[in-house]
Amino acid sequence: MKSSKIISTIVLLIGVISFVLYWYMIKADGDMDAANAYIDKLIGLTKVLLYIAVIAAAIGFILDIFESKKSAIYMLVSFAVLGVIFLIAYSKAVFKPYTLNDHVYPASVSGWSDTGLWMFYILAFIALALMLFTWIADFVRGQD
C-alpha cells in the first residue's frame, strides 16, 4: 500500500472521529457541561495531531539533511520566512485584557489570538496571491 493511501485513510479516520465528537457536542443543545466534555476531547485530539505533526516534521527535516543538502536549505529558508511572518503577526497583535460574559481574560489571551489571526490573514493572502499568479501565468502561456 502506498504511503499516500495510508495517510489518506488516517486523515479520513481523524475527520470521522472529529465529526462524531462535533455532532455529539451540537446534540448537547445548550447543556454546557455535556458539550464541554466533547470540546475537551476535540482539543485533546488537536493537541495530539499537533505533536505528531511537529515530530514528523522534525524527523523529516533531520532525514532530509542527510539525504539532500539543497532541500534542507530550502526548508531552513521556509522556516525563516515563516518566522518573519510570525514576527510581523506578533507585532500587529493587540495585547489588551477583555471581558466576555463576566469573565476577564488576560492580555496574553487576546494577544496570542490576534497573533494567530494575523498569521492566518498573512498566509491566506500569500496563498491567494500565489494562486492568482499561477493562474495568470498559466493563462498567458496558454496551458490548462
pLDDT for res 122: 94
pLDDT along the chain (144 residues), means of 10: 73 83 77 76 82 83 78 83 92 82 79 88 94 91 72
- Phi first, then psi, for residue 94 (nearest 5°) are -105, 115
pLDDT for res 84: 94
pLDDT for res 47: 84
The C-alpha atoms of residue 83 and residue 88 are separated, in whole angstroms, by 9
C-beta atoms surrounding 56 within 10 Å: 10
Nearest to 79 by CA among 95, 60, 66, 103: 60
* CA 9 vs CA 5, 12, 13, 14, 42: distances in Å: 6, 5, 6, 9, 19
The residue extents of the domains of the chain are: 1-67, 69-144
Q: Do strands 98-100 and 103-105 pair parallel, antiparallel, or not at all (unpaired)?
A: antiparallel
Residue pair 94/111 in contact by the 8 Å Cβ criterion: yes
pLDDT for res 143: 64
pLDDT for res 1: 56
**In one letter, which amino acid is 59?**
I
pLDDT for res 129: 95
pLDDT for res 42: 80
